[in-house]
Amino acid sequence: MERILEQAPRFFSGQNLTLLLEAAGLTLAMTLAGCLIGFGFAFVLVYLRQTPGLWGLPLRWICILYVEVFRRIPFIVVIYLVLFFIQTVTPDASLFTIAVIAICLYAVAYTADIIRGGIESVPVTQIEAAQAMNLSRLQTNLRIVLPQAWPVIVPPSIAFAVSFIKDTALVSQVGVFELTFRGKELNNQGYSGILVFGTIALCYFLLSFPLSMLGQHLEKRLGTPRGERRSRKIRHT
């Protein structure tokens, strides 16, 4: 305890704080970039997985295989796979890029299942009504299904991203200067482990808590029947 108190002023120096702030920014950036891009691709994957007909069969199969495989590999293994694969293709790719790609690949698999669940929660009768009006599959998805699936998709997707903020700690293994990596560095410089990792833990909390709150807010808002949402006004001309 005495050691912590003694080290604290030195530890919370401007230089160290900048370092941690940067690391926190990097952690957040990696997670958000990876999850957002992954979320986008997940929609494409789910759409392809719905391809009807016989010629869509291999496509459906590949999509299912992708989700099932990536959900069964530990994230750290995905990171190493991406690292070694990318480094053979383009040796000068930045570690940040590699981390984002790894997060993205992983996020696609997880959010694809969330999106599929949301889409399947929309009654098939809504789709039939759209088909009967000659809406195409894409139009039906964009105009009818997704807007209704949204309340089911958004909250667990945000929960996934929030939980992933901490899982990104694993990319420190390949040397990305994110929070946990900096923590180990500072620890090696002789700062008390409790002090260092206590601060790091607080950083992770501060990163993910606002996102969690946003998720809860959206969940409440999206769960409200449309007619009762006051901010949503539609005009006709």
**2, 15, 227, 231: which one contacts another protein (CB under 8 A)?**
227
Determine the residue type at 10: R
Smaller CB separation from another protein, 107 or 144: 144
Is 231 among the residues that bind another protein (CB under 8 A)?
Answer: no
* Secondary structure element (H or E) that encloses residue 200, with its range: helix 193-223
CB 43 within 8 A of CB 184: no
At 182, the amino acid letter reads R
User: For another protein, which residue of 81, 129, 201, 202 counts as binding (CB under 8 A)?
Assistant: 129
- Closer to another protein by Cβ: residue 120 or 128: 128
Binding mask 148-167 toward another protein (x if CB under 8 A, else -) reads: x-------------------
Q: Mask 179-198, x = binds another protein (CB under 8 A)? A: --------------------
23's CB contacts (< 8 A; 6+ apart) are 177, 178, 179, 181, 182, 203
Q: How many CB atoms neighbour CB 110 within 10 A?
A: 22
Using rule CB under 8 A, residue 23 touches another protein: no
Buried b (16+ CB within 10 A) or exposed e, 168-202: bbbbbebebbbbbbbbebbbeeebbeebbbebbee
Cβ–Cβ under 8 Å, residues 203 and 20: yes
Pick 94 or 139: Cβ nearer another protein: 139
Among 133, 194, 206, 214, binds another protein (CB under 8 A): 133
- The amino acid sitting at 76 is I
Taking the least distance from each CB to another protein, the nearer of 37 and 135 is: 135
Nearer to another protein, 72 or 235 (CB): 235
Question: What residues from 63 to 102 belong to the interface with another protein (CB under 8 A)?
Answer: none
Chain residues in the site for another protein (CB under 8 A): 125-126, 128-135, 139, 143-144, 147-148, 225-227, 234, 236-237
